[in-house]
Amino acid sequence: MPLSKKAFGEAMAILGTYYDKIDATLGDTIKTKAWYSALQDMEDDELRAAVNDYVKTGKFAPMPADLWDRVRTMREAQHPELTAEEAWGIVYRDISRYGYYSEPTYDDWKLEAAKNSIGWETLCDLKENTLMATRAHFLRIYGSFTQREKIAAASDNPMAKAFVNNLVTQLTGKKALKELEGNHDH
């Protein structure tokens, strides 16, 4: 749900209380519209939390990007991401847990896509002389997918989001990522 004008007005009033530069902006319709346009993809609660956090630590008037940084940090804390090493640990554990004939499916699209890129059979056929190279290859693939996802999520570019969504579908057979489907992604 896009940012409500009421929540936006309250947030700007709070910022105007602490920062003269923002207070001066409140009387300028063009600047206020520009601020709303920059923040409109936030949820009401996200903007409130970002403003409350910012006024506790920010010495200078924020720009919209400063508030988005706070929102991204809050979103990441709500949905912690596996590191490439943690993802490899899950796959490596599951090789012995499931074996060659019972391939697991992972909810994390990056984990699923990295597994599929190498191939479950190849992973199950690891030997002492191929283990480190396969592990390194998995880490690079997973890291690349993580980077693509972050760039697409932080972008206003619909082509970047479509590219990642297409990648998800091709490599995992799953539907596009919820975070990248709508307009609530920054």
pTM of the model: 0.53
125/172: higher pLDDT: 125
pLDDT in tens, 151-161: 877 777 777 77
Report residue 79's pLDDT band, with 50, 70 and 90 as the boundaries: low
Percent of the chain with pLDDT over 90: 59
- The per-residue DSSP string of the chain comes to -PPPHHHHHHHHHHHHHH-HHHHHHTT-HHHHHHHHHHHTTS-HHHHHHHHHHHHHH-SSPPPHHHHHHHHHHHHHHHSPPPPHHHHHHHHHHHHHHH-TTS----SSHHHHHHHHHH-HHHHHT--TTTHHHHHHHHHHHHHHHHHHHHHHHH---HHHHHHHHHHHHHHH-PPPPHHHHSS---
In this predicted structure, what is the pLDDT of residue 168? 75
Kindly report the average pLDDT of the chain as a whole number: 86
- Whether 175 has a pLDDT exceeding 70, the answer reads no
- Whether 59 has a pLDDT exceeding 70, the answer reads yes
